[in-house]
Amino acid sequence: MAWSYKEKIWFDRSTDGGRTWLEKDIVAAEQPGGWDIEIASLGRANVMPVLVCDRSPGPNRGTLYLCWGDQRNGVEDTDIFFAKSLDGGLSWSKPLRVNDDKKGHQQFFPWMAVDQVTGHLYTVFYDRRNHTDGQTEVYVAVSRDAGKSFKNLKVSTEPFKPTSGVFFGDYNHISAHDGVVRPIWTRLDKGALSVWTAIMDFKKP
């Protein structure tokens, strides 16, 4: 399990079906700004942690991956971060920035999935790298090397501009299986909400 509390990402685990847990929770990462942040034109924006495990038959089987957002680079520069653990969550790697844009833009509402056939990682998030007026797009970051690097792909066809008067929910989502990847997100057009996905098909390595 992973959760946010007092500007930190916490981790605990059970190996007996939840009957017992670690004697002490582990701090996996710092989270400056916390999980509930302020983003212009949104009523609230969550950057809560997402924890996934590689159960694929590949070389990284058993690796734990964490994805979240925070404001360590400033309140006008929210970024998506990533860390991994090779020892069942007892220790975590130094956070890696997932979005590959220049500094000074907002990324938020992250979610991550691991393809349990290929072991590849996919992260979806809202992104304002191309706009300064609140217009928002959707990107998916792809890693085929266990999170050492991420390639960012824009998956929305047109930007949209949220408004704080319309509640967008608390998170997006993404699923991946055998190279078939489906992110899902919400957008606003002329006051009407709609739910979207992108058709993303990746070949096996």
Mind listing the pLDDT tens digit for each residue in 86-134? 999 999 999 999 999 999 999 999 999 999 999 999 999 999 999 989 9
CATH number of the domain to which 17 belongs: 2.120.10.10
Closest alpha carbon to 150 in 105, 61, 84 = 84
Range of the domain at 72: 2-201
CB atoms within 10 A of CB 75: 12
d(CA 124, CA 116): 17
Percentage above 70 pLDDT, the chain: 99
Q: What does the mean pLDDT of the chain come to?
A: 94
Residue 187 has pLDDT above 80, yes or no: yes
Closest alpha carbon to 82 in 26, 149, 17 = 149
Tell me, what's the pLDDT at 19?
97
Q: How many domains does the chain have?
A: 1
Tell me, what's the pLDDT at 160?
94
- 153 Cα distance to chain centroid: 14
Give the tens place of pLDDT for each residue, 129-165: 999 899 999 999 999 999 999 999 999 999 999 988 8
CA angle, 161 as apex, 158 and 164 as ends, to 5°? 155
In a 10 Å sphere around its CB, with 0-12 CB exposed, 13-18 middle and 19+ buried, how is residue 192 labelled?
exposed
